[in-house]
Chains A and B, each alone.
Chain A
Amino acid sequence: GENVEQHPSTLSVQEGDSAVIKCTYSDSASNYFPWYKQELGKRPQLIIDIRSNVGEKKDQRIAVTLNKTAKHFSLHITETQPEDSAVYFCAASITRANTGNQFYFGTGTSLTVIP
């Protein structure tokens, strides 16, 4: 099955700096890569996603890049703010019309933005 590795497990940055979280996956059939943010005591929520036919996607201060050849994808947060402090999970999924998605999550990165 799919194996997703995520690094680093913890990350501290100064407010205004950038943060980068990296994930690798093992199954070349994976075609959907979402990122979830989980604030303390709250539910995970999707912040950005990318499909395998796209190399990069941006949404304001957040961007995700995908390298299919190397089987890795990264989350980039620019101009970090204290409210970006949370645990971030990457995931890889194979999307099939008849069997839906089976998601494999990384172990999470705890991001702390220091004011």
Chain B
Amino acid sequence: KAGVTQTPRYLIKTRGQQVTLSCSPISGHRSVSWYQQTPGQGLQFLFEYFSETQRNKGNFPGRFSGRQFSNSRSEMNVSTLELGDSALYLCASSPGRGRGTGELFFGEGSRLTVL
């Protein structure tokens, strides 16, 4: 099975711009969640989608948004970028329902640098 794929892997933006990141989950996984990873802050939960619906949401401002498509692929968007948005954005997929839904399978991340 192919793993979780995130694109792009690296990107550089300037303040005020917007960015869209993409995540393709493991085939058959219906849950996709997004995390922001910064040094010293660990992994902070952004949101989770299941069957095209946002099921859970973390404590991030409205500039952070996401969506999920019918094939379970997900995108997240950050508008009006700030310097503090520089981070590694990790996507994780899981089956989403039933036993064994606990494990998260992470992608390699998209490293965003805001100048």
A residues lining the B interface (CB < 8 Å): 1, 6, 9, 32, 34, 36, 42-46, 49, 51, 89, 91, 93, 95, 97, 99-108
Contact = CB atoms under 8 A, between A and B. Distances in A.
B102 interface: yes
Contact of A107 (B40, B48, B94): B40
Interface stretch (B14-22, B71-79, B105-113): B105-113
B56 A89 contact: no
Interface band, chain B: 20 to 34
B42 A105 contact: yes
B90 A107 contact: no
A43 B42 CA distance: 13
Task: Give the secondary structure class of A's interface.
Answer: strand
A81 to B, nearest CB: 23
Which of B40, B41, B101, B102 has the most C-beta atoms of chain A within 10 angstroms of its own C-beta?
A: B102
Contact of B102 (A9, A42, A93, A107): A93
Contacts of A1: 59
Contacts of A42: 108
Lowest 6 A-B CB distances belong to which pairs? A107-B42, A105-B43, A43-B106, A102-B56, A105-B42, A44-B106
B96 A100 contact: yes
A100 B103 CA distance: 11
B64 interface: no
B103 A104 contact: no
A106 B42 contact: yes
Contact of A108 (B33, B42, B101): B42
A46 to B, nearest CB: 5
